[in-house]
Amino acid sequence: DSGVTQTPKHLITATGQRVTLRCSPRSGDLSVYWYQQSLDQGLQFLIQYYNGEERAKGNILERFSAQQFPDLHSELNLSSLELGDSALYFCASSARQGIDEQYFGPGTRLTVT
């Protein structure tokens, strides 16, 4: 158990819908990262937050957005969902934003039908 929690574990929704994925980092960690993992794409970095502020952006679509709240939990919002958005979404956390290793949560499996 990494100490990172994610909810829900599974999510099934229809195209065009909007969902919110939630992540709580390990106690004391200030950085949160979101990744998408689909079968043909590997692990793709989406976005990073540090202590409430956006720090780095990867291959995140405009239909996707995220935020980190004062209690350091984070939410990833996915809207106008398409079939291709079906994937595992992982959240990771680290103590700082420098050299620390990232610890991954169990992931949310999103299925868009």
Partner 1 sequence: GQNIDQPTEMTATEGAIVQINCTYQTSGFNGLFWYQQHAGEAPTFLSYNVLDGLEEKGRFSSFLSRSKGYSYLLLKELQMKDSASYLCAVRFIKAAGNKLTFGGGTRVLVKP
What is the per-residue binding string for partner 1 in 6-45, x denoting contact by CB under 8 A? -------------------------x-x--------xxxx
Q: Contact at 8 Å (CB) between 76 and 20?
A: yes
69 CB-contact burial (10 Å; exposed 0-12 / middle 13-18 / buried 19+): exposed
Nearer to partner 1, 55 or 73 (CB): 55
Spatial separation of the C-alpha atoms in residues 101 and 81, rounded to whole Å: 31
Work out whether 103 is an interface residue with partner 1 (CB under 8 A).
yes
Phi, psi of 107 (to 5 degrees): 90, 155
Count of residues in contact with partner 1, rule CB under 8 A: 29
The residues binding partner 1 (CB under 8 A) are 2, 4, 31, 33, 42-45, 48, 50, 55-56, 58, 88, 90, 94, 96-107, 109
